[in-house]
Amino acid sequence: MSSSAQASQPYKANPKQTVLTFLITLTIFSLVAYFTFFPLRPSLLLRRLHRKLPKPFYRLFGRISHALQPLLVHFSAPTDLAVAIRSFSDYSFAQQAALDAKWRSFERMGKRHRRLGQKLGWRAKLESVEGKLEANSRVTDELAALGMERARKEGVPLGLGMRSRFARQDGRVVEVLKHFVRDWSAEGKSERDALFPPILEALEKEFPKRDGAEELDVLVPGCGLARLAYEIASLGFSVEANDFSHFMNLASSLIFNRTQSINQHTIHPYLHSFSHHRSIENMLRPISFPDVVPPKGIDLHFEPGDFLKLFPEKETHSAVVTLFFIDTASNLCDYLETIWRVLKPGGIWINEGPLLYYGNPGMALPLEDVIRLAELMGFVIEDRRTLNDSKYTADDEGMYSFAYHCEFWVARKPVNSLKPPPPTSSNASPSSAATPSQ
Ligand SMILES: C[S@@+](CC[C@H](N)C(=O)[O-])C[C@H]1O[C@@H](n2cnc3c(N)ncnc32)[C@H](O)[C@@H]1O
């Protein structure tokens, strides 16, 4: 064939070459796009752009999910109560599985090392952990039974198929066992003594007369196992204790409704971790509770549920007490607005705790900004100090210790301030809070 004939033939692309060219172009394009929008060291302008561009979408998404919430609730099974029941009733099974892994690790060691372990009584130690797990499960079984009773009474659906069958939160069961120690055992007294007195003293100072002439309602949101709420009620206040966790509420119910004698229950709360123990005896030591049986006639009422939804009425309480609570908010402004709303004019909000933010809240503010936010909402901070070395469900006999430097404050809703000032004024006066003590 002549060369002119060859030239007149239409060009036929080699499919392999086409794909290759396409892939190379796509790669180059993607790389250029990636390094333009996500450079290794993005410029400030680009970072701002990244932040700003998706903003309308976040807002839209927020609005849509807010609007759909009532609908979504029906699909968000299993309920917290179902999860709590499942977790309590499966406690023994879940812990046994963790212990089985310990057995397997031991058996995987060489014969000579296992013999050394034998001399240290390692097998006997694992067996004694097993025995103590059984003791713990007597309490967790009782909590599961209480949960079943509540579910039946409230018509809460439990048989939600596969999802509820596998929805277990074993860590929260362990947390509850540790809370029994913190709130209701003689061993927890040192933790309580570091935290409760400033709160109780502030209430007594503010309301010296508690003769029933004036109704003194105190709200304790996020009350956990409600020992603080009980101590406040013991001073002669009428107390509403609120928590939305069924793990906590069932545990409180065990204390307030199913306990007749001091130290009726015994658990081994430190056996869930093998770390930081000086001896196996320390790890397995029993803790009995409660150190006090709440009398039946005490003026303490439980309001299980979300603090933000349960108290829509205005000016119902003389005081609100939050202990290790405000940092659980996904939007702290909502918490503060709710506290403001329920407080009577002249009422006080007492807070104590760290700022251990959970999840990804709207604003994870540092302490000074939390105080400033409270002031912007109209609160007047009247007392403020730092409480050093507050422990939280710690093992005092272990080799590890962690402590918070909690902030305590008393904030007042002024009598003449019916409405909080607009929270937008950027030129508002500087913080009037007292300097925290060292
Ligand atoms: C860190 S614990 C503190 C418990 C207790 N105040 C104490 O000091 O032992 C926080 C508690 O707040 C509860 N909680 C969190 N958000 C809540 C909400 N929106 N309504 C009611 N309780 C809530 C949790 O279930 C948990 O029991």
| DSSP state string for 82-100 | HHHHHHHHTHHHHHHHHHH
Distances (CA, A) of 358 to 80, 177, 181, 364: 18, 21, 23, 9
Residues 267-295 pLDDT 10s: 999 999 999 999 999 999 999 999 999 99
Q: Work out the average pLDDT over 181-208.
A: 97
CA 430 – CA 31 distance, rounded (Å) = 49
Q: Give me the chain's average pLDDT, please.
A: 88
Ligand 1, atom 24: nearest CA belongs to which residue? Answer: 222
C-alpha 361 – ligand 1 centre gap (Å): 15
Instruction: Tell me if 178 is assigned to some domain.
Output: no
pLDDT beyond 50 at 322: yes
Per-residue pLDDT, averaged over 207-220, amounts to 84
241-245: long-range contacts, CB 8 A cutoff, minimum separation 24: 241/300, 241/301, 241/302, 241/303, 242/302, 242/303, 242/304, 242/305, 242/307, 242/310, 242/311, 243/304, 244/80, 244/304, 244/305, 244/306, 244/307, 245/80, 245/84, 245/172
Q: Report the nearest-CA residue for atom 3 of ligand 1.
A: 324
Res. 164: pLDDT tops 60? no
The answer, yes or no, to whether any atom of ligand 1 lies below 6 A from the CB of 302, is no
Asked whether 202 lines ligand 1 (CB < 6 A), one says no
Q: What is the pLDDT of residue 432?
A: 32
Within a domain: 401:
yes
User: Residue 160: is its pLDDT beyond 70?
Assistant: no
CA 72 to chain centre: 22
User: Is residue 399's pLDDT more than 90?
Assistant: yes
* Rounded mean pLDDT, 165-172: 82
Report the residue among 80, 220, 228, 243 best suited for mutation to probe ligand 1: largest number of ligand atoms under 8 A from its CB: 243
Is 401's pLDDT higher than 70? yes
Look at residue 62 and tell me if it is in a domain.
Answer: yes
Mean pLDDT over 355-367 rounds to: 95
Whether omega for the bond prior to residue 436 falls within 30 degrees of 0, making it cis, is no
Q: Are residues 146 and 218 in the same domain?
A: no
The yes-or-no verdict on residue 367 having pLDDT over 70 is: yes
134 CB within 6 A, ligand 1: no
Tell whether the model's pLDDT for residue 117 goes beyond 70: yes
Mean pLDDT on 39-57: 74
Do residues 148 and 236 both lie within one domain?
A: no
Residue 197 to residue 203: CA distance in whole angstroms: 10
Q: Do both 383 and 429 map to the same domain?
A: yes
> In this structure, which residue's CA is closest to atom 11 in ligand 1?
222
Residue 144 CB partners (closer than 8 Å, separation 6+)? 85, 88, 89
- The residues facing 319 across adjacent strands are 218, 348
Look at residue 308 in the predicted model and tell me its pLDDT.
97
CA of residue 31 to ligand 1 center, whole Å: 47
Domain identity same for 48 and 64: yes
Q: Which of 52, 73, 94 marks a domain boundary?
A: 73
Nearest CA to ligand 1 atom 27: 224
Q: In this structure, which residue's CA is closest to atom 12 in ligand 1? A: 222
Other C-beta atoms closer than 10 Å to the C-beta of 378 total: 18
Looking at per-residue pLDDT, the higher value among 405 and 58 belongs to: 405
CA distances for 8 relative to 4, 18, 54, 168, 249, angstroms: 6, 22, 54, 74, 87
Report the pLDDT value the prediction gives residue 232, as an integer from 0 to 100. 97
Does residue 132 lie within any of the structural domains?
Answer: yes
Could you read off the pLDDT of 124-148 as tens digits, one per residue? 999 999 999 999 999 999 999 999 9
Q: Name the band, by pLDDT with cuts 50, 70 and 90, for residue 70.
A: low
Residue 2 lies in a domain: no
For the ranges 63-77, 389-403, 420-434, which has the lowest average pLDDT? Answer: 420-434
Ligand 1 near 324 CB (within 6 A) = yes
Q: Is 195 exposed, middle or buried (0-12, 13-18, 19+ CB in 10 A)?
A: buried
Residues 6+ apart with CB under 8 A from 167: 78, 82, 83, 86
Asked if residue 421 has pLDDT above 90, the reply is: no
**Confidence grade of residue 438 (pLDDT, cut at 50, 70, 90):** very low
Question: Looking at the domain assignment, is residue 148 inside a domain?
Answer: yes
pLDDT at residue 79, rounded to an integer = 81
Q: What is the largest CA-CA distance in the chain?
A: 118
Residue with tokens 């794909």: 19
**Domain shared by 359 and 282, yes or no:** yes
Rounded distance from Cα 322 to ligand 1 centre (Å):
9
Instruction: Please tell me the distance from the alpha carbon of residue 45 to that of residue 68, in angstroms, as a whole number.
Output: 35
Residue 317 backbone zone (phi > 0: left; psi -120 to 50: alpha; other: beta): beta
Q: CA torsion, points 422, 428, 433, 434, in degrees to nearest 10?
A: -170
Q: Are residues 158 and 224 in the same domain?
A: no
Tokens of 266: 């015994």
CATH of the domain at 263: 3.40.50.150
Under the banding of pLDDT at 50, 70 and 90, the label for residue 218 is very high
Q: In 223-379, at which residue ranges do the beta strands (DSSP E only) sit?
A: 238-243, 265-267, 287-289, 300-304, 317-323, 343-353
What is the structure's pLDDT at 8? 56
Residue 245 CA, chain-centre distance (Å), reads 9
d(CA 232, CA 255): 16
- Return the best residue to mutate from 328, 333, 336, 337 for the ligand 1 pocket (most ligand atoms within 8 A of CB): 328
316 lines ligand 1 (CB under 6 A): no
CB distance 310 to ligand 1 below 6 Å: no
Cβ of residue 218 lying under 6 Å from some atom of ligand 1 = no
pLDDT of residue 1: 42
- Asked if 388 and 436 sit in the same domain, the reply is yes
pLDDT at 26 over 50: yes
Q: Is 67 inside any structural domain? A: yes
* Distant-in-sequence, close-in-space partners of 311: CB < 8 Å, separation ≥ 6: 219, 242, 303, 338, 341, 342
> Do both 327 and 419 map to the same domain?
yes
Residue-level pLDDT at 418:
56
Dist. CA 235 → ligand 1 center (Å): 22
Q: Are residues 407 and 343 in the same domain?
A: yes
Instruction: Give the count of domains, the chain.
Output: 3
53-67, 155-169, 206-220, 319-333, range with the lowest pLDDT: 155-169
Both 293 and 355 in a single domain?
yes
Same domain, 64 and 92: no
The pick from 321, 322, 325, 342 for probing ligand 1's pocket by mutation, whose C-beta has the most ligand atoms within 8 angstroms, reads 325
Locate the ligand 1 atom nearest the alpha carbon of residue 182 and give its number: 9
| Residue range(s) defining the domain that contains residue 34 | 14-73
User: In angstroms, what is the span from residue 221 Cα to ligand 1's centroid?
Assistant: 7
Among 56, 73, 90, identify where a domain stops: 73
pLDDT band at 436 (very low <50, low <70, confident <90, very high): very low
Is 9 contained in some domain? no
| Residue of the CA atom closest to atom 23 of ligand 1 | 222
| DSSP line for 223-263 | -TT-HHHHHHHHTT-EEEEEE--HHHHHHHHHHHHS--STT
Residues 230 and 306 occupy one common structural domain: yes
What percent of the chain lies above the pLDDT cut of 90? 70
pTM as predicted? 0.81
Q: Which of 117, 138, 168 is the last residue of a domain?
A: 168
Beta carbon of 245 within 6 Å of any ligand 1 atom: yes
427 alpha carbon to ligand 1 midpoint, in Å?
Answer: 34
219 CB near ligand 1 (under 6 Å): no
Q: Which of 39-53, 249-263, 317-331 has the lowest mean pLDDT?
A: 39-53
The verdict on the CB of residue 353 being under 6 Å from ligand 1 is no
Ligand 1: centre distance to CA 258 (Å) = 22
